[in-house]
A and B are shown apart, each in its own frame.
Chain A
């Protein structure tokens, strides 16, 4: 490595050789061993600029900002399912109620007077429960 190249690298990548491109480090180390005083002066000059840049501190993360951000993170799958399981469950309940109604209706198509009044009461009770549940959550 030429001294010019060493200076160019220090100018660009700073005073820490460890942060230079890996392919250049070995040759740089050889030059540093050959001309230690000169190389140290070049690195110290680059290091002065590094130190000056470090004085410009980054904004600090507040706890409130972190909390706001975390609140928007993806939710666990189980929690996401709750959102659509409730309407699906209500739909299933409604379908079951309708099926029960059809079944009961078929059974009472040739009614005896006493039986008809019992099944009517059953259909009314089941349907009323399901529809009231649906209405509350809809």
Chain B
């Protein structure tokens, strides 16, 4: 990547067992992992599980991390997405046996009832999207990845990403059409 990897130095310190570096990496990446998994899964508790599992992989991978192949953040997003999809697959398998129960992680209570309601509506609309469209929206809008990086995480071209985003956002607009009036 042209600008180098902003996580490279921190990851190499983690690999050497530097406890301050481990704390810094957790402070830097944990909110991003919770944001990603929370939006993909629509469930805060499961998002925490995914974040923990992703860090287990980070701790294992850090000593073997080779700079210059992919950005660390790109790799981490791919790992976290795979963990999310494992969970979504398990949910689908379980839903054959019992009715789906999807606890909804809305915004914090301090945001007020209206915002909480809107948050739940957006979460539901996002969960209703096909997986790849949801992934595209989450990576580009919530994770604020650049288009090239988001396409790399998804293993597709920027044009294909644009198509997924366009369809996803059109569906979201339709689902949330009444929000602007409220």
A61-B31, A74-B14, A80-B17 known; A56 and B166 CB under 8 Å? no
Which B residues from 1 to 25 make CB contacts under 8 A with A? 14-19, 22-23
* A63 shortest CB reach to chain B, Å: 11
**Contacts A12-B162, A59-B47, A69-B55 given; does A49 touch B176 at CB 8 Å:** yes
Number of B residues whose C-beta is below 8 Å from A? 55
The segment from A13-21, A103-111, A130-138 that touches chain B is A13-21
Contact status B166-A8, CB under 8 Å:
yes
| Binary CB contact string for chain A from 52 to 65 against chain B (1 if under 8 A, 0 otherwise) | 11011111110001
With A48-B180, A49-B172, A65-B48 as contacts: A58 and B165 at CB distance below 8 Å = no
Closest A residue by C-beta to B17? A76
Contact of B15 among A48, A57, A72, A74 (CB under 8 A): A74
Is B34's beta carbon under 8 Å from chain A? Answer: yes
B152 on the A face (CB < 8 A): no
CB distance from A23 to the nearest CB of B (A): 9
A74 neighbours in B (Cβ, 8 Å):
14-17, 22, 59, 62-63
Contact B173 A49 (CB under 8 A): yes
Q: Is the CB of A59 within 8 A of B48?
A: yes
B contact residues around A13 at 8 Å (CB): 140, 147, 162, 165
Closest to A62 in B: B48
Q: How far is the CB of B181 from chain A (nearest CB, A)?
A: 11
Name the residue on B nearest A80 (C-beta).
B17
Residues of A within 8 A of B141 (CB): 14, 50, 53
- A46-B169, A61-B31, A69-B51 known; 5 new pairs, CB 8 Å cut-off, are A12-B166, A55-B118, A57-B106, A58-B47, A72-B59
Give 4 closest A-B pairs by Cβ, nearest first: A73-B22, A59-B44, A76-B17, A58-B35
Residue numbers of B with Cβ under 8 A of A are 14-19, 22-23, 26-27, 30-31, 34-35, 38-39, 44, 47-48, 51-52, 55-56, 59, 62-63, 105-108, 111, 115, 118-119, 122-123, 126, 137, 140-142, 144, 147, 158, 162-163, 165-166, 169-170, 172-173, 176, 179-180
A–B pairs, 16, beta carbons within 8 Å: A12-B163, A13-B147, A13-B165, A49-B173, A53-B172, A55-B118, A55-B122, A57-B107, A57-B119, A58-B38, A58-B47, A58-B142, A59-B35, A59-B48, A65-B51, A73-B14
